[in-house]
Amino acid sequence: KAKQSSLMSFFQKK
Amino acid sequence: MFEARLAEGGILKKVLDAIKELLNEASFDCSEAGLQLQAMDNSHVSLVSLNLRAEGFENYRCDRNMSMGMNLASLVKIMKCSANDDVLTIKAQDNADVVTFVFESKNGDRVSDFDMKLMNLDQEHLGIPETDYACVIKMPSNEFAKIVRDLSQFGESIAIACSKQGVKFSSTGDIGTGNIKLAQNSSADSDDKVVVDLQEPVTLTFASRYLNSFAKAAGLSEKVTLSMSPDVPLVVEFKVATSDNDYGYIRYYLAPKIED
């Protein structure tokens, strides 16, 4: 089953 | 001080409708360039990026950058006190702990004002890299809203497959499977056009619930743009515009579902 990823794994905190 | 006058106050109502399902509170960042908001939902799956350009306002003044933290449910209550065609002025003193909303009826014989307490929100901003997307789909926003609504009845995920043939939206669940295919078309009525700009085919899967929340922005714009690349967040963009004014945009970023 596909798992929901987090935005934090794509975008860095500024 | 900050003061911004919006000839069509109803625009802010529509913007609120487009973000209130995803966010409980958010900071409106005011600068000379305009009003910006960037916030993730609580589970860090989606992000809202709103940009209302200073030029879109009838009057716009921002002496120094400030961040106004607002409870969106409270803001909804205040906006309910206005008519869609009221002229809206938002104002705040420097370092103030309240923001004032003034509504003026079109004929000028009714003026109301509401102060709302500001909140101190410790919001983290994310840097979003410039990306060349493998697929960019432009389609009528009402159609996007209907597809997402229809397929949400099937499963909690919707797969979006973009290829030379067009775009296919699919969802599978307990009752079965739904597929909706859109071909690129060049109908004379450009409003109904689906246009795909394709570098390479992409299929990604997303949570139906978030796509449904994004579709609440369909009232802002007749068109929506979906941008996808393999294994990166989807971007769903609606222009905030009327026939005679370009206010800016609202963009949603949504992290994909990834095979375990």
**Model ipTM?**
0.96
- Residue B188: its pLDDT value, please? 60
Percent of chain B with pLDDT over 90: 90
B183: left (phi over 0), alpha (psi -120 to 50) or beta: beta
CB contact under 8 A, A6 and B45: yes
- Interchain contact, A3 vs B257, CB within 8 Å: yes
DSSP B177: E
Compute the C-alpha angle B27/B48/B238, nearest 5°. 125
pLDDT of residue B169: 98
Closest in A1, A9, A12 to B260, CB measured = A1
**Encoded amino acid at B79, one letter:** M
CA B133, B138, B139, B140 dihedral sign is: positive
What are the start-end ranges of the E strands in B146-244? 157-163, 166-173, 176-183, 195-198, 202-207, 223-228, 234-242
Cβ pair B126:A14 closer than 8 A: yes
**pLDDT < 50 stretches in chain B:** none
Alpha-carbon dihedral B84, B29, B57, B219, rounded to 10 degrees: -40
Distance from CA of A5 to the nearest CA of B (A): 6
| Average pLDDT over all residues of chain B | 95
B162: left (phi over 0), alpha (psi -120 to 50) or beta: beta
The alpha-carbon gap from A9 to the nearest alpha carbon of chain B, in Å, equals: 9
Q: Under a CB-based contact definition with an 8 Å cutoff, are residues B102 and B116 in contact?
A: no
Q: Please give the pLDDT value at position B189.
A: 64
Do A13 and B125 count as a contact with CB atoms less than 8 A apart? yes
Suggest the residue from B22, B128, B228, B231 to mutate for an interface test with chain A (most A CBs closer than 10 A): B128
